Structure 1
């Protein structure tokens, strides 16, 4: 596993220490969890923006968010997004379902 160095402002370092103490975990574990969760949130936020603007449909939004179509539909429901299925998306999903 590669090592990465990062400079943190004092307040973020203090927050890192507080969360590590709260969860009784070491800094490395908290940083890895935070990075994983943060990257997921950034991907979802980007997918939501692209989906809302009409740039992408359901399948592509799910790919951008790195989730399944079912998970994307749940995200869309939670965020009160209007589901936009194109005919091609439905056909692709039907074909994928047949392959299962």
Structure 2
């Protein structure tokens, strides 16, 4: 497994230690968990923004977020997303969903 390094402020290191203790994990495991969850949230946030702007349809938003279409629809519902999608976009999404 490759190794990376990062510089942390004293406050960030203290927070890392606090969370590691809370999870009863070592710092390395806690960092991996935080990175995994953080990267997933960043992907979702970017997909939400593009979807809200009407730049991507459901399938593409799901792909950007690293989710299935069903999981994406749950995210969209939870976040009360609206979009500027056209009827053609919706038909294409429906056709793609049927193929799943």
Query: TM-score, normalised to structure 2's length?
Result: 0.90
Tell me the C-alpha RMSD between the 2 structures.
Answer: 1.2
State the SS of the aligned residue for 1:30.
helix
Q: Give the match for residue 79 of structure 2.
A: 79
Following TM superposition, the consecutive aligned residue runs of length 4 or more in structure 1 with deviations greater than 3 angstroms are none
Q: Give the match for residue 19 of structure 2.
A: 19
Q: Which has the higher contact order (CA 8 A, sep 6+)?
A: 2
- Unpaired runs of at least 5, structure 2: none
- Unpaired runs of at least 5, structure 1: none
Q: Give the match for residue 99 of structure 2.
A: 95
Q: Give the match for residue 66 of structure 2.
A: 66
CA displacement at 1:62 relative to structure 2: 0.2
CA displacement at 1:95 relative to structure 2: 2.2
Residue correspondences, number: 96
Query: TM-score, normalised to structure 1's length?
Result: 0.90
